[in-house]
Amino acid sequence: MDAHIRLARVATNFIEFDVAIETKDVDALVEKLIPIGDLDNTRHVVEEEIEIDQGIKDGIFYFNHERFWECHEAFEGVWKQCFGREKELVQGIILVAVAYAHAQENELRIGVAMLTRALEKLGTSPSMYHSIDVERIRKKSIEMQQVDDLIIFEI
């Protein structure tokens, strides 16, 4: 088995591994990881076309479960279908998710710094985007900049 762990992300209740591995070897890798702890899921993260509403629903789920890289991927699928101000808003949400992904990779400073770009993209967007409270994201991002830390919250 030839597997390369590209990076690990540490969340509150799990560790996520980004692994380069042949599909045929996934089960063997999972068997080797079982002694470490319960396996939540395995997923081949690839770019996929998705309806906007489903992408938003998936993105919210992933964000709220600290699966920030998958959140980024889901919202990127939404972003590709948006235009104008909506595209900027979605990019702001993506940047917040990526900020958390960096923090999970032990790159807190990069994550906190990304909030500046996220806030620029969120700009003066409406306070709600579908069921997402954009104003809350803005306020939380500003608070986190002030304390120089990323604090988990749900969207």
Rounded to two decimals, what is the model's pTM? Answer: 0.91
Q: Look at residues 21, 20, 15, 70 and name the one whose alpha carbon lies nearest to residue 47.
A: 70
**Domains of the chain with CATH codes:** 3-36 (no CATH), 52-147 (1.10.3450.10)
How far apart CA 76 and CA 82 sit, in angstroms, is 10
The pLDDT assigned to 33 comes to 86
At residue 37, the pLDDT reads: 84
Provide the pLDDT for residue 102: 98
Q: How far is CA 145 from CA 46, 68, 128, 137, 139, in A?
A: 32, 19, 22, 12, 10
Lookup result for tokens 């789920």? 61
Please write the tens of the pLDDT for every residue from 73-89.
Answer: 999 999 999 999 999 99
**Mean pLDDT in consecutive groups of 10 residues from the start of the chain, 155 residues:** 90 91 89 86 78 96 97 96 96 99 98 98 94 98 98 97
User: Is residue 48 a contact partner of residue 103, using CB atoms and an 8 Å limit?
Assistant: no
